[in-house]
Amino acid sequence: MRILVIGSGAREHAIVKSLIRTGTRAEDIVCAPGNEGIASEVETRQVDQVDRLAVVKLALEERVDLVVIGPEAPLVEGVADALREQGVGVFGPNQDAAQLEGSKNFAKEVMAAADVPTGMAHQCTTMEEVENALDQFGAPFVVKADGLAAGKGVIVTSDKSAALEHAGVYISGGVLVEEFLDGREVSLFFLADGKTVMPLSPAQDYKRAFEGDEGPNTGGMGAYSPIPWLPEGFVEEVTERVAQPVINELARRGTEFVGLLYCGLIVTDRGLRVIEFNARFGDPETQVVLRRLTSNLAELLMRAATGKLDVGPSAEFSKRKAVTVVLASEGYPTSTADYREVVGIESAESIEDVEVCKAGRVGRVLSVVGCGDSFQEARTLAYEGMSRISLQGGHYRNDIAARVS
């Protein structure tokens, strides 16, 4: 099976590594546009990932059986639709179904129709509506841009003027004011084939920039998997109450979801609630979830792409633990430094059970992944790897997986 992976982040590097680790030959993988880390493992090609025709042309030229779309932007642009129209196998939802991530209002409507537990929210199109909704819920305030905002669309704050200011930035495209949900967050991924879902293993992401969950929200500064503190039956509950009903509701609307359904959940005193959906693998959770996958990833993704998830075995995972720590460049996420060279990646990867997934040249630049028999061991390995890497002005959190055992 020949596979084209679209994307250029640490997530796509982790997907490529997992494909190879679980049985796909490196010669059978192409990544576009990829990055320097990915290029050291498989062939890469230049492409504008949101250009539908360019991606279709590349997939046909490379004669691939399956295209795996990593990021949300090509999905929201309809790259998956264009590939399917040409008969190319795709793991990644069509434009309509990707609205589950592309529009928070759409996600809320689908959840309401499917009776999925989520926070109460008001859809607002004027600042007056925002103000009323903030007053109704009270502090802490949660304001979300309706559309994609590269991880910057959500603010959680006790400062009403900051909440209003944030709403003001996004109000022209619509904002959602949501009740504050208190609890621990969990990311759970499902493969979906339009009708059936298959859970992967849960992971926890660290969203805030600094230690102790301080600072602004980011794309994610670290993660671990599995999650030892989850109640028994958690994955089954999310499957039955969240993932399957959402897939059914989308199918009922004629927008079958084929790809990765990312359920961002919070476990509250009143039970589980959905915070958000994404239509793609999460970053950096993928680095830890796929690190532990033992089933053949290419076969699983192909079964999802061809409507065959219900035929054959479920995804299986190692009992080992995985921890990833993200290295970000100076100023991330509020400002962008100039490109500076990262050194020491080879030395980090020379440690057994440490791998490095490369990302951008600025922003989140890489993730170091440690894998061990205990969280303690996995975490020690990840940080030992990180200590061998240097980037002027770079920063990472020292408390990833510090309190899990």
| Burial bucket for residue 339 (CB in 10 Å: 0-12, 13-18, 19+) | exposed
Binding to ligand AMP by residue 180, rule CB under 6 A?
yes
Query: Is 211 in a helix, a strand, or coil?
Result: helix
Contact 170, 153 (CB under 8 A): yes
Sorted by sequence, the CB contacts under 8 Å of residue 4 that are 6+ apart come out as 29, 30, 31, 32, 58, 59, 62, 64, 66, 67, 68
234: helix, coil or strand? helix
DSSP 8-state secondary structure symbol assigned to residue 314 = P
- Taking a C-beta distance cutoff of 8 angstroms, is the pair 89, 306 a contact? yes
Cβ nearer to ligand AMP, comparing 192 with 221: 221
Q: Assess contact for 109 and 155: CB atoms under 8 A.
A: no
285 binds, among ligand AMP, ligand GLY, none (CB under 5 to 8 A by kind): ligand GLY
Six-digit token string for 172: 């022209």
Size of the residue set binding ligand GLY (CB under 6 A): 7
Query: Could you tell me if 267 and 252 are in contact, meaning their C-beta atoms sit under 8 angstroms apart?
Result: no
Given the complex with ligand AMP, which of 148 and 351 has the nearer CB atom?
A: 148
Secondary structure element (H or E) that encloses residue 285, with its range: helix 285-292
Residue from 205, 249, 256, 355 that binds ligand GLY (CB under 6 A)? 205
Work out whether 153 is an interface residue with ligand GLY (CB under 6 A).
Answer: no
> Omega of the bond prior to 231 within 30 degrees of 0, cis?
no
Neighbours of 86 (CB within 10 A): 11
Residue from 219, 222, 259, 372 touching ligand GLY (CB under 6 A): that is 219
Assess 268 for contact with ligand AMP (CB under 6 A): no
3-state secondary structure of 246: helix
Residue 262: strand pairing partners: 189, 278
Question: Residue 363 binds which one of ligand AMP, ligand GLY, none, with CB within 5 to 8 A depending on kind?
Answer: none
Report the residue from 285, 328, 356, 397 that binds ligand GLY according to the rule CB under 6 A: 285
Contacts of 194 (CB under 8 A, 6+ apart): 247, 251, 256, 257, 258, 307
| Structural tokens at position 345 | 């990646």
Rank residues 81 and 178 by Cβ distance to ligand AMP and give the closer one.
178
283 binds, among ligand GLY, ligand AMP, none (CB under 5 to 8 A by kind): ligand GLY
Sign of the Cα torsion 205, 377, 315, 367 reads positive
276 near ligand AMP, rule: CB under 6 A:
yes
Count of residues that bind ligand AMP according to CB under 6 A:
14
184-193 vs 197-199, strand pairing mode: antiparallel
- Residue 256, contacted partner among ligand GLY, ligand AMP, none, CB below 5-8 A by kind: none
Q: Per rule CB under 6 A, is residue 178 in the interface with ligand AMP?
A: yes
In this complex, which beta carbon is closest to ligand AMP, that of residue 16 or of residue 246?
A: 246
**Residue from the set 154, 192, 235, 272 that interacts with ligand AMP by CB under 6 A:** 154
Among 277, 283, 328, 397, binds ligand GLY (CB under 6 A): 283
Q: Which is nearer to ligand GLY, 65 or 211 (CB)?
A: 211
Residue whose CB is less far from ligand GLY, 219 or 385: 219
Interface with ligand GLY, residue 12, by CB under 6 A: no
Residues in contact with ligand GLY by CB under 6 A are 205, 219-220, 278, 282-283, 285
Residues in contact with ligand AMP by CB under 6 A are 119, 142, 144, 154, 156, 178, 180-181, 185, 207, 217, 264, 275-276
